[in-house]
Chains A and B, each alone.
Chain A
Amino acid sequence: KNQVEQSPQSLIILEGKNCTLQCNYTVSPFSNLRWYKQDTGRGPVSLTIMTFSENTKSNGRYTATLDADTKQSSLHITASQLSDSASYICVVRLISNFGNEKLTFGTGTRLTIIP
């Protein structure tokens, strides 16, 4: 079972509409949680970084929330645009007792915006 689960697996919405993507994780202890946007055939681009103590962080039309108690995060996209069509990946970063870092990637949500 993947330690970082995302839902839905894919989503299609009309341009201008809002949507929310979910990320549930079981990895612990975690250092921070990140949301990335990945266009097809390109490297991921960071949207938000949230530490354990942060509940909400915004980046333009993207707003991420984090509930460390329930180990859930969400990414809300407001007023979607065609350019938002991409895969959105939730990534949990661990720092071990030995100082090694490890990233655990979610399975991603494929978002398609239609005009």
Chain B
Amino acid sequence: GAVVSQHPSWVICKSGTSVKIECRSLDFQATTMFWYRQFPKQSLMLMATSNEGSKATYEQGVEKDKFLINHASLTLSTLTVTSAHPEDSSFYICSASPGGTGNTIYFGEGSWLTVV
């Protein structure tokens, strides 16, 4: 079945550095991918909508200059956390769908980011 892959699964970085998380749809094309973050014991919060070939759409309160999103192809979107701080430590998840309102939305396995 359709799979969405995220990489890396977990990453530790120093404060002030940048880290990139990749989201790939393995056997379908996705013109739109979504990025979420999830704090412990809380539900997923949509950060931005990644659109292939155009700029991402960010949710209110999400800094676009801090969370850079690039959707360079129909199977790959990347989230770069720039100048990371400890408060950016979180679980980041992407999702993608083959399209159509009734199609399943597939989530990646998520990426744990710890900023020290």
Contacts and interface: CB of A to CB of B under 8 A. Distances in A.
Contacts of A32: 101-102
Interface string A73-101: 00000000000000001010101000011
Question: Chain A: interface secondary structure?
Answer: strand
Contacts, number: 53
A31 to B, nearest CB: 5
Between B6, B32, B101, B108, the greatest number of chain A beta carbons within 10 A of the residue's beta carbon is seen for B101
B3 to A, nearest CB: 10
Contacts of A41: 91, 110, 112
B32 A105 contact: no
A43 B4 CA distance: 10
Given A34-B105, A43-B93, A49-B104, A106 B112 contact: no
Contacts of B32: 101
A103 B46 contact: yes
A89 B101 contact: no
A49 B104 CA distance: 7
Between A34, A46, A51, A101, the greatest number of chain B beta carbons within 10 A of the residue's beta carbon is seen for A101
B44 interface: yes
Interface of A: 31-32, 34, 36, 41-46, 49, 51, 89, 91, 93, 95, 100-103, 105-108, 110
Interface of B: 4, 6, 32, 34, 41-46, 49, 91, 93, 95, 101-102, 104-110, 112
16 contacts: A34-B104, A41-B91, A41-B110, A43-B4, A43-B107, A43-B108, A49-B102, A49-B104, A93-B101, A95-B101, A100-B49, A101-B101, A103-B34, A103-B46, A107-B42, A108-B43
